[in-house]
Structure 1
Amino acid sequence: MNGPDKFSLKKHVTAPAIFALFCVLTWTVRASDIHPSGFIAPLTADTVPKKPRNTRTNPPDTSRPDTSRRPALRNSTDTSGRDSLITSDTTILSTDTFSLRISKDSFAAPVTYEAEDSAVILVPEKKVILYGNTKTKYQDVNLQAPVVILDQKASVLTAVGTKDSLGESLVRAVMTEKENKFQSDTIRYNFKTQRGLTYNTFTNQNEIFINAGLAKKVDSNTVFMKGARFTTCDLDDPHFAFRANKLKVINQKVAVSGPMHPEFEGVPVPVYLPFGFYPLTRGRKSGMLAPQFVATDQQGLGLQGIGYYKILNDYIDATFRADIYSYGGWKGDLTSTYRKRYRYTGTVNLSFQNTKINFKGDPDFRSDRTFLIAWSHSTDQRARPGVTFNASVNASSAKYNQYLTTNTLRNFQNKQQSSISYSKNWIGKPFSLQLAANHNQDNITRLINVSLPNASFTVNQIFPFQRKEALGAARWYEKIGVGYSGQLQNQFSFYDSAFNAKRLLDTLLWGATHNIPIALSLPPVGPLIVTPSISYQQQWIMSRTEYTWNPVTDTLDAVTTKGFHTAHQMSVGLGFGTNVFGTFNFKRSKILAIRHAVRPSFSFSYSPNLAKNYYKTVQYNRAGEKRVYSVYQNNSNIYSGYSNVEFGGIGFGVDNSLEMKVRATTDSGAAESKKIRLIDGFGFTSGYNFLLDSFQLNTFSLYLRSSLFDKVNLNFTADLDPYEVNNFGRRVNTVSFGRGRLGRVTRGNLSLSTSFRSKPRDESQGDQTVAVDQNRITDPTLLADQSRLQDYMRRNPREFVNFNIPYDFGVDLAMGFSRNWTEDGKVVTDFNSSVNLHGSFSLTPKWNFSAQAFYDLKTKTLGAFALSINRDMHCWQMAISVSPIGLQRFFTITISPKSSLLQNLRVNRTRVFNDF
C-alpha cells in the first residue's frame, strides 16, 4: 500500500499554468454553429473572414475516407497563402488581401483556389489539400484537377488525377500557363522557380499533339520530354506517330528530337532517323519547298515543285518553283504576292518552260521555249474614294498551255485575255475618267491583239437650264438633260511566231468616237412613258482606202491614205413605253397563280444620211458590175463610219417575264405563298424604215433569259431574217410572213448551266470544302493565273473534296451556230459547241468519287475525261486521279497527311503520256 504522495511544487504549478494559457488562447471560442469571430490560425496574416452569405448542410459521403476530423469546404478562396479553419459543414467564401509581404515563405502573388468537395488545411505543415474538381490560379497559371496539394513551405503544388480499377486515367490534371496546356496524371509545379515535373503528359503545339511519359518544365517556354510520342492525329490512340526517347519543345518556336522512328496503329516501323526538327512558329516563314516525282513518256523522269519560299518584308513574299526532267526539259515559276491592308493586294507570276520531247538526235526530238506572264492587282476603294486601279493580265506563248502536265483544263484553253484599268470619279461632280489596256490572243491562229492606251471620258446627264433656286413648278425646258461620252482606242497586232518590233508600228491603229445625247424628261401620259431624245455622234478615223478597176490585171487596185478623217451621224426620236400585267389564278391547286408581265416599246426616229461623201461606186469584175463601198471600211481602221442609209421609221419590241406563286409550308407548319421566277425575260426587237424602196423591215433580234427555280441558268440569243432567198442564196424583197413562214434563223447562241447539290450530312459542319471551283476561291494568288490554280489543286486534292456533301453534279453547255446561203442555193451551217460535265458523290462519309468530262458536239468526240477517287483516313487522305483521254493522259496516286505541318511528308506516284 502506498503512502500519501509528497508535495511537489513543479507538479502543482505546471498544470495550472497550462490551463491558464489554454483559457487565454480560447476565450473567444463558442460551442455552437454560430461564427461571430471564429478561431483563426493564419499562415501569413491575421485577418477575420466575413460572415457567410448562406449555409448548407450536406449529408456525409460514405464513398470517401472518414473526414470527420477534417473540415469540409465547398468553396474557398485564399488570396494570401493562409489557411482558414471552419468547424462546420457549411459553404464559406473567404478572401484575405494584403499589400505587404509579411513572411519570407509567402507567395509573390495571391493564390485563388476552389474545391467542390472539401479542403483540408494543415496548419503546422503549411499545406492545403483540395478534393473534388478543384480550380487553382496563381498569376498566369491555371490548374484543374481532382486532388491538389498546395505546400506553401516548399512553394510546390502537386495535382493528381483519378484512375479506375484497371489503372486507366479517368480524369487528368490540366495546367494552363500562357499558351501552354498540359494534361497529366500527376503534376508537380514550383511557383517560385516555375519549374515542374509531369507524368504521362498530353499537350499540343499548333498542329502537333505530344504524349510524354515524363516531362520536365524548366521555364515558362521550355519543356524537356522523355519517352515522347508526337503526331498530328488528335486521337488519344493516334493512327500514326513518331517515337523519340528525348524531345525538347520551345513554346511556339521549335521542337527538336533525338533518334526517332514512325509507327502506324501502334506498330513500330523499323526506319530510324538520327534527329527531328519541327518548326512550331505561327505565321509566314521562309524555307524550302519539297518536290514530288513524276514520270512522262516524252520528257522522262522529273521532279516537280522543288523550290523556295522567301519573305521579303511584311508586305511582299516570293515563291520559286522548278520542274526538272531527265530529257533536259525544265520549267521555272516565280510568284510574288504583295498585300497592304486597306490599300491594295496583288500577285505577279513569271513562268518559263524549256520543253524537250524525246532525246536529242531522236527523229521525233522537239524543243520549244515558252513563257507566261500573269499579274493581278486590285485596290481597296477605301484607300482613295473615287479612284480604282485593277489589273488581270494573263499572256503566254501559244504552246504554253499545251505543254503543261496533268492539267486537263489548261490543255484545251485556246483563248486568253487581259485587262488593266484605271478609273476616277470626281465626287460631287458628273465627270468620270477611265484608262485601260486590253489584250487577247488565239493560241490556234497565234494572233495577238493588244489595245492600249484606251481612254474614256463621260459626263453624266446635266440640266443646263435648271434654275439654281427653284420657285414653284419646274418649267419644261428645265428638264432638258445633256450628256457626253468619248472614247479613244489604239491597237496593234502581231503573230507570236513572227514578232518583229520594227514592223510593230506598221500595224498600229487608232480611232475615237464622241456621243452627245440630249433627252427631255416628260411626265407620264396615263399608262404611257414618253421619252423624246436627240443624239449626235462623231468618229475619228485614221485612214481611207479607195479602189479602182485595173482592166490590165482584172483586179481592184487599192490606194490607202493615212490622216485625220471624220464621220458624223445624227438622230432624233420619240419613244413610248408601258407595262401590262395579267394574272391567271388557280383553284384547289398547289399553284396559286401565274403572272405574265408584258413591256412593249415603240419609237419614232429619223436619221439623215450624212455618209454619202465617203461611199463610192466601183467596178469589180469584167462584166462591168458595180458595187458600193465605204472608203473607211478596211482593216486599217478601228471605226468604219456609219451606214449609208437614211432612216425614217419606227422601232418596236416586246419584253416579257413570267412568274408563278405557289403554296409553301414553313418549318413551323404555317402556310405561306412563295414566288418563283420562271422566265426573267424573253422577247424581240426590230424596226421598219419607211424611206427605203426595198428591205424596209429590219432583222428581228430574239432573246430569252431564265434562272428557273434558281437551278437552271439559261441565256439564248438569235437573229431572224424576215426575207426570203432565191435559188442562188441571195436575199429577195419578199417577206417570209406572206408565205406562212416566220423567216430564217441566221445566227444563234445558247449557254446553259445547272447544278444539283444535296444537303450536308451534318448541318453543324457546314461546307468543309476549302475551294470547290474557281468562283469560290478568294485567294488572289490563285485567281491570278489558271495554271497555278490547277497546279495548286493537283498538289492539294484534299482541299477540293467535301465528304460532307453526298452528291454534287453540274452541266455547262455552250453552243453557237451561223447559217449562210451559198450562190448555188445550199445552206452552210457553222456549228461550235462544247459540254462540260462535272460531278462528285460520296459513297460513304469516307469515300468520294468525282469526274469531269469535255465533249465536243461538233466532232462528236470526248475531248477529255478525268476521274478522281478520294479516301478520308482521318489524319491522312488518299487521292487517285486518272485521265485516260486528252492531249495528256495521266494517272497519279497521292497519300499525304492533312496537317499543313507535314504537307511534304507524302507518297506520290505520277505517270504522264503526251500526244503533242
Structure 2
Amino acid sequence: MKQFFLTILSSLFALVLLVSAAAQAKEGARESLADTVHYAAERIDCRFEEDTTIVLLGKAEVAYQDMELNAGKITYYPGQELLCAEGLPDTSDGKLRLTETPVLRDKEGSIRALSLTYNLKSKRGTLVEARANYRDGFYTGRRVRKLGEKTLQIFRGTYTTCNLSRPHYRFWSRQMKVLINDKVIAKPVVFYVWNVPVFWLPFIVFSIRKQRHSGFLIPRYGSNDIDGRYVHNLGYYLAPSPYWDAAVRGTLREQTGWMLDSEFRYHLRGRLRGTITGSFDNRATAIAQKRAWRLGFSHLHTLSPTMTLRGRGDFCSDKNFSVRNSTNLYSRLNRTLRSYLSFHKHWTGSGNSIDLTVLHSRNLDTDETSLYLPRISFRKARAPIFKPPKGDHTLAKWYHSIYYSFSSDFSHLREERTTGEYSRVNLSTNLYASAAQKFRTWLHLRPSVSWGMRGFQSQGEKFQRQESYSFALSASTTLYGFFQPHIGSLRAVRHTVKPSVAFLCSARLDTLDGFRYDLRKLRDPRTQVRLNLGNILQVKTGRGRKQRKFNLATWGFSTSYNPRAREKFSDLTTNVRVSPVKTFEVVLNSTHSFYTPGGEFRPSAPRLKRINLTASFRLRGKTGRKTSQPESSAPEGTEEVAGYTSSRMEETTIPPSDREVPYVFGISYRYSLVKSAGLPASVVQWIKGNLSFSPTSKWRIDWWVNYNLQKWRITTQQISIYRDLHCWEARLVWMPTGYRRGYYFRMNIKALPEIKIEKKKGIVGF
C-alpha cells in the first residue's frame, strides 16, 4: 500500500512539472518536447536528479508525432530527448527469455529489436538484433542505425521480400544502406536461396521503388541463326522528372556487329506529349560492313480546349532497316514511311471544324514520294435549317426536321514517280440536306438531296470542274408478330420485320473551261432502287427473377435494282446471326447472284458467289478470372496481325495467380467459300481453340491452337504454364509449331523482377 501511494504521488508530481513547463512555454520560454510526448505503462517511475528520468514498466507505450514505441521497459530522458527501450526477462517456464521486446513504428514501417535507443528530435537511433519491415521489404541486422525517417544503416544483415520466418531467398551483406522506397546499397553481398549461397558480388545497388525511376536496364541474352549469340538491352533509363524520361540501350551481336537505340518521351498533362526515337545499326559481317539509321517522332500539343497540333515522322537511310532489326510483324511488312503535321480547330457551339495538314509519304520499294502541301478540310456540322421551338416538342412543324451539312476540301499534291514529277491541285465542296418525316405513326420517310463540286488542275493541263447531283427517298416501317406458346420455359416469342426501300438518282456534269455548262456533258446518270428486309426474333423465357429476354436470331437480306445496268439486280446479300444460349453463336454471311456466268437472269435459283460461316462456343466458370479479351483471341503476350501471331512474351509481366479455381474454354469453327467464274472454288476451313484453367490456386495453364482443316495440320499452337512460388513466380511458354516455334522460360522474384532466371530459343521474338 505504501508503494502504491508513492507511485501516485510521483505521478502527480510529474504532472505538476508538465503543467508548469506548459505555462512557461506560454510565457515565451523555450518549448519542451515533454508537452508533446504521450506515454503510458502499468508502472511509471519518475526520478528527479540532475537529469529528470521517467521509467515506464510493463506494456510501456510512447507516442510522439507519427512515431510510436512499445516495449516492456522504456526509459525517457526529457532533457536529452532520448528514449531507451528493452524487453523484460521472463523465467516462468524455467528458462530465461525476453518478452515485450521493443517495437518502433512510424509512417514508413516498423522495427523490432532486443534493445534500442532513439532520439526524438533527430529521429535517429540504434537497434540491436533488429528485424525491420518497410513496405514490401524485410530487413534483419545485428546492429541497425536509423538515420532519420528515410534511411537505415544495417551491419551484418539481410534483405528479402519474403515474409516467412525462414525466407525462400535473402541478400546477406556485411554493411548495407537502405534508402526507404528508393534503393538498397550493400557490400559485399551473398545471395542465398534457402540456406544455399548462389552468387557473391563485391557490391550491389538495386532499386526498391514501385514507380518509375532512373537506373540501369536489365540485359537480355539470346541467340538466333542470323546474329548468333547476342546481348540486348544494355543501357540506362533516366527519369529525373515526372514530365519526361529517356533511355539509351545497345545490342551486341556475335556475328553482325552492334546496334544503338535511344528514346526520349515527354508528357505534360492536358498540354502536350510526344516521343522521339533514334536507332543506329552498325552491321558488320564477314563479307561487308553496312551502317544505317532510323529516326522517328510523334507529338500532340493541346493549344486550347478547341485546338490541337499533331505531328508524326518516320525517316530512315536504308529501306530494309525494319526487316533486319524489328521483331514486330507489322513493322517488318510495312513498306511505306509516312510523316505529317496537322492542326485541328473546332467550335463547340456550332460543331464546325477545320483541319490543316502537311503529309509526306515514301514507298521503300519503288522510292516514289508524295507530298500534300497543304491539305485543308472544313466541316459544317449537321444543323437544322429552321430551328425548332425550345421546350414543348409538340409545337414543332414538319419543316423543323430539315437538316443540312457542308464540307469543303483543298489539297496540293506533288509526286515524284519513276516516270517523272507530277503535281495536282484539288478542290471539292459538298452540300447535303435531309428531312426525316413520320406519317400515321407507322411509315417513315426520309428524303435527301446533295450537291457536290470538284475542281482539279493537273500539271500542264487546264483547270477542270465537275458537279454532281443526287436525290434519295427512303421509306421504312416496322411490323410485329407476337406469340405466347407456353412450351416448357418458353413464355413468349416476338418477330420484328423491318422492310425498307430507297430510291436514288444521281448524275455528274462537266463544265467547259471550268466555268461554262453544257448539258450534253451530263455523265454517268444513275437510277437505283435499294431493297432491304431485316428480321429480329426475340424470346422470353422463365418467370419472376429467372425471367430472361434475348435475341434468338437476327437475319436480313439486301439487294438493289439499276435499270441502266447490264445486270439490273445487284448481288443478294444475306446476314444471319443465331445465339440460342450465351455460350454458343453462329454467324453466316453469304452473297448470291441472280445471274448465271453467261448473264442469264434466274431469280428463282440465285448462284452462290461467297459464303462465310463461323460457329463459336465459349464456356467460363463462375469463379473464373475476369478478362476483357475474347476467348477466341490470341493468347496473352501475343498479337494477331494479318492472320499471323507476333509473340513478345519476354516483354510481358507475369500476372498474379488467382485464389479461386477459374476455367475458360473456347472453340470456334470457320468456313469460307469463294466462287469465281471460270476459276476453281477457294475454300478455307480452320478450327481455333483455347483452354485456360487453374487446377489449384498456385497453377495456371493456358493453351491456344489454330488447326487448318484444308491442310490437316496445326498452323499455330502455344502452351503457357504459370506457377506461383510464394515470393517467386515462374512461367514456361512453348510454341511447338508455326513459324515462331520455340520456347521461353522465366523464373523471377515478384518484387524484384530484374532478378530472374531466363532462357529462350526460337526465331524472331524469342
Q: Shorter-chain TM-score category?
A: 0.7 to 0.9
Secondary structure of the residue aligned to 1:309 is: strand
Which of these residues, 522, 526, 529, is aligned with residue 437 of structure 2? 522
Q: Determine if the alignment matches structure 1 residue 425 to structure 2 residue 346.
A: yes
Q: 1:416 to 1:693 in 2, by over 3 A?
A: closer
In structure 1, what is the Cα distance between the partners aligned to 2:413 and 2:583?
41
The residue that corresponds to 2:220 in the other structure is: 292
Per-residue CA shift, 1:308-342, capped at 9, x if unaligned? 21236542212222222111244443222221112
Structure 2, unpaired ranges of 5+:
513-520
The residue that corresponds to 2:44 in the other structure is: 120
The residue that corresponds to 1:849 in the other structure is: 701
How much does 1:196 deviate? 2.8
Does the CA contact (< 8 Å) of 1:297 and 1:914 recur in 2? no
Q: 1:577 to 1:378 in 2, by over 3 A?
A: farther
The residue that corresponds to 1:360 in the other structure is: 286
In structure 1, what is the Cα distance between the partners aligned to 2:484 and 2:183?
72
Q: Determine if the alignment matches structure 1 residue 744 to structure 2 residue 671.
A: no
Secondary structure of the residue aligned to 2:676 is: strand
The residue that corresponds to 1:657 in the other structure is: 536
Does the CA contact (< 8 Å) of 1:536 and 1:569 recur in 2? yes
Does the CA contact (< 8 Å) of 1:44 and 1:106 recur in 2? no
Does the CA contact (< 8 Å) of 1:297 and 1:912 recur in 2? no
Structure 1 letter corresponding to 2:753 = Q
The residue that corresponds to 2:484 in the other structure is: 585
Q: 1:686 to 1:340 in 2, by over 3 A?
A: same
Structure 1 letter corresponding to 2:675 = R
In structure 2, what is the Cα distance between the partners aligned to 1:308 and 1:387?
36
The residue that corresponds to 2:405 in the other structure is: 483
Q: Determine if the alignment matches structure 1 residue 675 to structure 2 residue 540.
A: no
In structure 2, what is the Cα distance between the partners aligned to 1:724 and 1:343?
61
Percentage of identical aligned residues: 21
Secondary structure of the residue aligned to 2:759 is: strand
Does the CA contact (< 8 Å) of 1:840 and 1:851 recur in 2? yes
In structure 2, what is the Cα distance between the partners aligned to 1:815 and 1:434?
44
Per-residue CA shift, 1:824-861, capped at 9, x if unaligned? xx344456687765554334333333344455666665
The residue that corresponds to 1:598 in the other structure is: 497
Q: Determine if the alignment matches structure 1 residue 882 to structure 2 residue 734.
A: yes
Q: Determine if the alignment matches structure 1 residue 535 to structure 2 residue 464.
A: no
Per-residue CA shift, 1:233-268, capped at 9, x if unaligned? 233321000112332334455543332312221334
Which of these residues, 557, 560, 572, is aligned with residue 684 of structure 1? 557
Which of these residues, 249, 257, 273, is aligned with residue 321 of structure 1? 249
The residue that corresponds to 1:573 in the other structure is: 472
Does the CA contact (< 8 Å) of 1:767 and 1:804 recur in 2? no
In structure 2, what is the Cα distance between the partners aligned to 1:607 and 1:755?
47
Q: Determine if the alignment matches structure 1 residue 197 to structure 2 residue 120.
A: no
Does the CA contact (< 8 Å) of 1:329 and 1:355 recur in 2? yes
In structure 2, what is the Cα distance between the partners aligned to 1:416 and 1:751?
34
Which of these residues, 36, 45, 70, is aligned with residue 110 of structure 1? 36
In structure 2, what is the Cα distance between the partners aligned to 1:582 and 1:169?
85
Secondary structure of the residue aligned to 2:524 is: coil
RMSD of the TM alignment (CA)? 5.1
Secondary structure of the residue aligned to 1:99 is: helix
Does the CA contact (< 8 Å) of 1:402 and 1:410 recur in 2? no
Per-residue CA shift, 1:338-359, capped at 9, x if unaligned? 2111224343444455667xx6
Structure 1, unpaired ranges of 5+:
1-28, 48-78, 83-95, 494-500, 544-559, 614-640, 665-669
In structure 1, what is the Cα distance between the partners aligned to 2:673 and 2:378?
36
Does the CA contact (< 8 Å) of 1:408 and 1:888 recur in 2? no
Per-residue CA shift, 1:107-152, capped at 9, x if unaligned? 454221345xx333445684342534x5421234222345545455
The residue that corresponds to 2:152 in the other structure is: 223
Does the CA contact (< 8 Å) of 1:854 and 1:863 recur in 2? yes
- Larger Rg computed on CA atoms: 1
How much does 1:570 deviate? 2.0
In structure 2, what is the Cα distance between the partners aligned to 1:349 and 1:377?
12
The residue that corresponds to 1:724 in the other structure is: 596
The residue that corresponds to 2:200 in the other structure is: 272
Count of aligned pairs between the two proteins: 739
In structure 2, what is the Cα distance between the partners aligned to 1:167 and 1:505?
99
Secondary structure of the residue aligned to 1:719 is: strand
Secondary structure of the residue aligned to 2:440 is: coil
Does the CA contact (< 8 Å) of 1:451 and 1:489 recur in 2? no
Q: 1:722 to 1:144 in 2, by over 3 A?
A: farther
Q: Determine if the alignment matches structure 1 residue 187 to structure 2 residue 116.
A: yes
Q: How does 1:15-34 map to 2 (within 5 A)?
A: none
The residue that corresponds to 1:702 in the other structure is: 574
Q: Determine if the alignment matches structure 1 residue 46 to structure 2 residue 11.
A: no
Per-residue CA shift, 1:553-608, capped at 9, x if unaligned? xxxxxxx9855433333232332222223333342633433333222212334435
The residue that corresponds to 1:554 in the other structure is: none
User: Normalising to structure 2: TM-score of the pair?
Assistant: 0.79
Q: 1:350 to 1:224 in 2, by over 3 A?
A: closer
User: Normalising to structure 1: TM-score of the pair?
Assistant: 0.67
The residue that corresponds to 1:174 in the other structure is: 103
Per-residue CA shift, 1:471-505, capped at 9, x if unaligned? 99566555543322344567788xxxxxxx67497
Which is richer in strand? 2
The residue that corresponds to 1:806 in the other structure is: 662
In structure 2, what is the Cα distance between the partners aligned to 1:330 and 1:612?
62
Per-residue CA shift, 1:142-165, capped at 9, x if unaligned? 223455454557654344458896
In structure 1, what is the Cα distance between the partners aligned to 2:259 and 2:578?
45
The residue that corresponds to 2:69 in the other structure is: 143
Per-residue CA shift, 1:691-744, capped at 9, x if unaligned? 448533233233346788666787765433212223xxxx23x2x22xx41x12
In structure 1, what is the Cα distance between the partners aligned to 2:522 and 2:692?
53
Q: 1:310 to 1:449 in 2, by over 3 A?
A: same
Secondary structure of the residue aligned to 2:200 is: coil
Structure 2 letter corresponding to 1:644 = D
The residue that corresponds to 1:306 in the other structure is: 234
Q: How does 1:504-515 map to 2 (within 5 A)?
A: 506=421, 511=426, 513-515=428-430
Does the CA contact (< 8 Å) of 2:72 and 2:99 recur in 1? no
Q: Determine if the alignment matches structure 1 residue 908 to structure 2 residue 764.
A: no
